[in-house]
Amino acid sequence: MSSTGIDYGLGRSNIDNVTGIRFGVISQHSIMPEACEDFEQDYGKPTCPECGRDLIDSSDDSISAADWNAGKDYACAKCEQVYWSDSVFSEESLGFTYSRAGYELTNCLDSDVFVLKSPYYTFAQFCSPCVPGAGNLDNYLTEGVKTYCLGHDWFDGEKAPYPVYSVETQQEVTA
């Protein structure tokens, strides 16, 4: 085993096949708390509180306006009931996403951020078998696998704990 670790993904998983850059994983606790405020919470698909089936959105033309009962948001074809949004989604977030400024992020494991796309990369050690083929941004290396990362502005003091390189120019980006 080298210092880069083991590629449990065998070069086929958690990698951007266009750029060859690995997806990155970093603990939410490693980034500044304010950065997480812009994450969009995911409450899952709307499901019927009675039977658990997927619901039809009020914008669906297959149900007449008269059947929507006081402008409610969702209908169940099986139960023939209509519901407001607050009764058809999970009360707790199932995860999060973030899509801005060249980043594509989502949740990973219990409290990690999965960096699926970024204008930046660094070099990191492979993750454990939990995220095969991805790079562990909490354990960066001076030479390792090229891994999408978060820029300096995601960290306290506007300084990433690892060297940051531009995907576009391949040059190091200083804080």
Distances (CA, A) of 129 to 16, 112, 124: 18, 15, 15
Among residues of the chain, what percentage have pLDDT more than 70?
Answer: 90
- The answer as to whether 64 is a domain residue is yes
What pLDDT is recorded for position 1? 38
pLDDT at 165 over 90: yes
Considering only CA atoms, which of 105, 134, 135, 122 is closest in space to residue 170?
Answer: 122
Q: What is the average pLDDT value for the chain, to the nearest integer?
A: 84
DSSP-based three-state secondary structure for 16: coil
pTM: 0.75
Residue 74: which pLDDT band, with cuts at 50, 70 and 90?
confident
Residue 170 has pLDDT above 70, yes or no: yes
Q: Is the pLDDT of residue 175 over 70?
A: yes
Q: Which domain holds residue 31?
A: 24-41+96-173
**pLDDT classification of 61: cutoffs 50, 70, 90:** low
- The count of domains in the chain is 2
Pair 77, 117 in one domain: no
140 and 109 inside one domain = yes
* pLDDT at residue 64 in the model: 54
Asked whether residue 57 is domain-assigned, the answer is: yes
Of 53, 74, 89, the residue that ends a domain is 89
Q: Has residue 142 been placed in a domain?
A: yes
How far, CA to CA in Å, does 139 sit from each of 8, 23, 31, 127, 162?
Answer: 17, 14, 14, 9, 9
**Mean pLDDT across 138-150:** 89
Comparing 155 with 75, the larger pLDDT belongs to: 155
DSSP for residue 21: P
79-135 tens-digit pLDDT: 777 887 777 777 776 677 888 899 999 888 878 999 999 999 999 999 888 899 999
Q: Is residue 49 part of a domain?
A: yes
Distance from C-alpha of 103 to C-alpha of 23, rounded to nearest angstrom:
11
